[in-house]
Every structure is written in structure tokens, then in C-alpha cells.
Amino acid sequence: MTEKARVRTGGRSARIQASVHAAVETLLAELSRSELTIPLIADRAGVTPSTIYRRWGDLAELLGDVAVQRLRPVSDPADTGSVPGDLEAWSIQFADEMSSVPGRTMLRDIFAGTTDSKNPSYCCSFTDLQLGVINRRAIDRGKPGFDVELFIDRVVAPILYRILFRELPPSTDYCRQLVSAAVPGHAEPVHAVTDA
């Protein structure tokens, strides 16, 4: 369902998506999640319930789609002047945002759809894109890049494991240790790394 929703991005279809997403966001501010229903959302968005069922399938898939849109990064990762610095800053911010109550609610919504929902992989592709920006930034400056896949295995995955499965969220020190073990040259003081 979401795949379809993402392909048809223009005109009437885009307006329906925007209006349904806005209705969900407004209603979530007024009601508890268990009170939310598709007829209620349709009424607020000014569409018929069948429009929502046709496009999203069910409430879980719609909430997952809204969460994906909220997780879409609004800007490039902070530019600290070095790859280790960028990766450390990105990881700490990622851990912080994803372990917040809104972050954990978005993760829950992303997993609440069907087991073949595309929502988790959209979420993961945002991470790939952000890390890709840091990598290209380094290469464009003639600095060594880093192994994005290895970084995901060694830093992103354990941060999310702690958030999803453990009661203790990942601390800033924990993030720093993961980055430092995963990225060569991270032991150098970040501030001393100058940009050519």
C-alpha cells in the first residue's frame, strides 16, 4: 500500500496524502492512540473511509506511513570538518532522537504494519542516505571515506538494539565507544583534524 502511495506523488493523490497525514497528526494530539479509527481520520481529512482503506489498507499501515514521513531527515548531517567528528555527532543525535518517546512511538508504528510492509526499509534508507552524505563529503574533500555497511553493523544496529530491546537507552559515551571502535582514526582528537 505504501509503495503505491509513494509512487503517486502528484496532484490530487498528493493532496489526499497530505490531508490524511495532517488529520492523523491533529487527532493524535487530541486523542489517545487507541481511540483513533479510520472513519474518524477520514472525517477530519474530508475524504471517505474507503479512500483510506484503498490507499493504506489499514490503520497500522497508515500510522507507519505517517511515522516514515516524520523520520525523513529535514537536513544533511552536521558538518564538523572530519569524518569521525561527523559520525560521532550523527550517532549521538540519532540515538537521542530514536530513544525519545516520539522516536520510540515512531519505531513502534513502523513495525505495526504487515510483516511485508515497506515502512521499516524506508526508515533504514534514510539512515543509508545520511551516512552516504558524510561519506561523499569526505571523498569530495580528498579525505578517506568509511565503510557505510560496516558502520551500520557496528554502530547503528547496536544503538537500535538498545532502544528496541533494552530498558536502558544508549548513552552518549556508549555511542562514542561504538564510533571509536568502528571508524579508523577516530582515536585522534576530533578538533585537531583540519579540513584542507
Q: Of 5-13, 98-106, 130-138, 185-193, which part binds a copy of itself (CB under 8 A)?
A: 98-106
Minimal distance in Å, beta carbon 89 to a copy of itself? 20
Q: Which is nearer to a copy of itself, 35 or 76 (CB)?
A: 35
Q: Which is nearer to a copy of itself, 93 or 111 (CB)?
A: 111
Cβ count within 10 A of residue 72 = 11
Size of the site for a copy of itself (CB under 8 A): 27
Residue 86 CB-density burial (10 A; 0-12 exposed, 13-18 middle, 19+ buried): buried
Minimal distance in Å, beta carbon 71 to a copy of itself? 12
Number of Cα atoms under 13 Å in the Cβ half of residue 102: 11
Of 76, 19, 8, which is closest to residue 46 (Cα–Cα)? Answer: 19
Residue 129: all three cell numbers together: 542516505
Minimal distance in Å, beta carbon 93 to a copy of itself? 18
CA distance 13 to 71: 21
Q: Name residue, grid cell 537500535.
A: 160
Q: Which residues in 166-195 contact a copy of itself (CB under 8 A)?
A: 166-167, 178
**Site for a copy of itself, rule CB under 8 A:** 34, 58, 101, 104-105, 107-108, 111-112, 115, 120-121, 123-124, 152-154, 156-158, 160-161, 164-167, 178
